[in-house]
Amino acid sequence: MQETLRIATDQLQIAADFLRTGKTVAFPTETVYGLGADALNAQAVEKIFLAKGRPSDNPLIVHIASIAQLDEIASDISFLAKRLIERFWPGPLTIVVRRKSQVPNIVTAGLDTVAVRMPEHATARELIRLANRPIVAPSANCSGRPSATTWESVLADLDGRIDAIVCGGPTRIGLESTVVDATGTEPIILRHGAITQEMIASACGEVASGSSELQVRSPGTRHRHYQPQAKVQLVEDLFELNPSSQRCGMIGLSEAEHRDLIETRLKNRFPQATVRLCASQEEYASELFEFFRHCDRLGLDRIYCQRVPHLGLGRAIMDRLQRAAE
Ligand code: AMP
Ligand code: MG
């Protein structure tokens, strides 16, 4: 066990020096907390796989703070990639491009491509700028568990296993970035996120997503993911439930104007349940993983999650829910 140093957001130089000397540092982004290391230092990157218990065939996303850093790691940037960069960076979009040979194999799991993102979060950008090198940053959680959206949840998984953490606020979006393969002429969505399929279609025209053949291109999607200890079950309507144990978790969505009323009705109907009703898809996305962790802390054995329509951000929510329920 090592001590994990807590670093305030106004002390980023300390965190950047850690990264520059091959150490691991968790930090907030607009999606979820990331666990950072110097992308060009294979030994530093290896520490991330060890700390998370991450399978070595799951490649990492490289985070950058400037377009100049993209040129250090990527080659043959396609017209399509340029269009996506122009439209969505900085932001929660990861773009898969051809890689340069100086990117260590451990980062890309041996692929000839590399996944890159320029986050918009001020702390994340400033940290990468100060570190002055590209930073790999997978979600800062034990592999397989729900991503961490608060620094407290990062430490619940990784305290004593990582060198430091930048203690910022909770993350805004709460789900991992959208991943798009931009090595061809048409974007292929490998993972849904807050940059939605509709947004990408309106920027680029055609979009492909979803088929199992395409998923093979994104090795991480093969692994167990996002799972709390409690069993997750998806339902259409929370009111129609007849739970075997009332000591369960329930999370769902309601129209904003009726949220409080419907939440009270649910609580009256299931007085021993832990109920969370969200007023928008954005709120559902940002609350979901922390709700999973909350239910685990309470020792609940089942969490019922209301399905949402497969549209916009709903695609990303349903993707995480389905994988949590596997
Ligand atoms: P994480 O950082 O834990 O949220 O996971 C990173 C995601 O990006 C995984 O789903 C990976 O499969 C995907 N990914 C990373 N690098 C590549 C790549 N070169 N090609 C395709 N997918 C990638
Ligand atoms: Mg992850």
Could you tell me the CATH number of the domain that includes residue 64?
3.90.870.10
Predicted confidence at residue 163, as pLDDT, reads 98
296 contact partners, CB below 8 Å, separation of at least 6: 228, 229, 230
Predicted confidence at residue 11, as pLDDT, reads 98
Predicted confidence at residue 274, as pLDDT, reads 97
**Confidence class of residue 49 from pLDDT cuts 50, 70 and 90?**
very high
| Residues flanking ligand 1, CB < 6 Å | 58-61, 96, 108, 111, 113-115, 138-139, 176, 179, 190-191, 217-221
Does 268 share its domain with 317? yes
Which residues have a beta carbon within 5 Å of ligand 2, which is an ion? 139
**Confidence class of residue 315 from pLDDT cuts 50, 70 and 90?**
very high
What is the average pLDDT value for the chain, to the nearest integer? 94
Does 29 share its domain with 139? yes
Does 245 share its domain with 126? no
Last residue of a domain, one of 215, 245, 266: 215
pLDDT tens-digit map of 124-135: 999 999 999 999
Q: Which residue minimizes the CA distance to atom 20 of ligand 1?
A: 218
Q: How far is the CA of 258 from the centre of ligand 2 (A)?
A: 34
Using CA atoms, how far apart are residues 182 and 189, in angstroms rounded to an integer?
9
Using CA atoms, how far apart are residues 292 and 146, in angstroms rounded to an integer?
7
Question: Does residue 221 form part of some domain?
Answer: no
Does 243 share its domain with 199? no
Question: Does residue 220 form part of some domain?
Answer: no
Q: Which two tokens stand for residue 203?
A: 């920027």
- What DSSP line would sit under 259-304, residue for residue? HHHHHHHHHHHSTTSEEEEESSHHHHHHHHHHHHHHHHHTT-SEEE
Give the rounded percent of residues in the chain with a pLDDT score beyond 70: 96
Q: Tell me the one-letter amino acid at 288.
A: L
Last residue of a domain, one of 215, 240, 266: 215
Give me the residue label for tokens 């773009």: 95
Predicted confidence at residue 225, as pLDDT, reads 85
pLDDT tens-digit map of 226-273: 999 999 999 999 998 887 777 899 999 999 999 999 999 999 999 999
Predicted confidence at residue 70, as pLDDT, reads 97
Give me the residue label for tokens 């979901």: 288
262 contact partners, CB below 8 Å, separation of at least 6: 254, 277
Does 301 share its domain with 182? no
Question: Does residue 223 form part of some domain?
Answer: no
Q: How far is the CA of 205 from the centre of ligand 1 (A)?
A: 24
Predicted confidence at residue 217, as pLDDT, reads 64
Q: How far is the CA of 180 from the centre of ligand 1 (A)?
A: 10
Indicate if the pLDDT at residue 183 is higher than 60. Answer: yes
Main-chain dihedrals φ then ψ at residue 186, nearest 5 degrees: -125, 135
Domain that holds residue 198: 5-215
64 contact partners, CB below 8 Å, separation of at least 6: 70, 73, 116, 117, 118, 128, 134, 135
- The CATH number linked to 273 is 3.40.50
Residue pair 61/137 in contact (Cβ under 8 Å)? The answer is: yes
**Confidence class of residue 220 from pLDDT cuts 50, 70 and 90?**
low
Mean pLDDT, rounded, for 13-40: 98
Does 284 share its domain with 314? yes
Report the atom number in ligand 1 closest to the C-alpha of 115.
Answer: 16
> Measured on CA atoms in the order 287, 290, 294, 296, is the torsion positive or negative?
positive
If one counts the domains in the chain, the total is 2
Question: Does residue 140 form part of some domain?
Answer: yes
Using CA atoms, how far apart are residues 172 and 313, in angstroms rounded to an integer?
14
Question: Does residue 292 form part of some domain?
Answer: yes
Last residue of a domain, one of 191, 215, 239: 215
Out of 45, 114, 218, mutate this one to test ligand 1's pocket (max ligand atoms within 8 Å of CB): namely 218
**Confidence class of residue 41 from pLDDT cuts 50, 70 and 90?**
very high
Does 130 share its domain with 247? no
- Nearest ligand (C-alpha, residue 227): 2
Does 81 share its domain with 177? yes
Does 152 share its domain with 281? no
Predicted confidence at residue 69, as pLDDT, reads 97
Predicted confidence at residue 224, as pLDDT, reads 78
- Nearest ligand (C-alpha, residue 180): 1
Question: Does residue 278 form part of some domain?
Answer: yes
Give the rounded percent of residues in the chain with a pLDDT score beyond 90: 89
- In whole angstroms, how far apart are CA 3 and each of 46, 165, 212? 19, 11, 42
Q: How many other CB atoms sit within 10 Å of the CB of residue 77?
A: 18
Predicted confidence at residue 275, as pLDDT, reads 96
**Maximum Cα–Cα distance across the chain:** 60
Question: Does residue 222 form part of some domain?
Answer: no
Predicted confidence at residue 244, as pLDDT, reads 74
Residue pair 163/23 in contact (Cβ under 8 Å)? The answer is: yes
pLDDT tens-digit map of 54-98: 999 999 999 999 999 999 999 989 999 999 999 999 999 999 999
Taking alpha carbons only, the member of 118, 36, 132, 43 closest to residue 74 is: 118
Predicted confidence at residue 193, as pLDDT, reads 98
Question: Does residue 189 form part of some domain?
Answer: yes
**Confidence class of residue 215 from pLDDT cuts 50, 70 and 90?**
low
Does 270 share its domain with 190? no
Predicted confidence at residue 1, as pLDDT, reads 57
Among 13-27, 151-165, 256-270, which is the least confidently predicted range? 256-270
Does 259 share its domain with 316? yes
Does 202 share its domain with 236? no
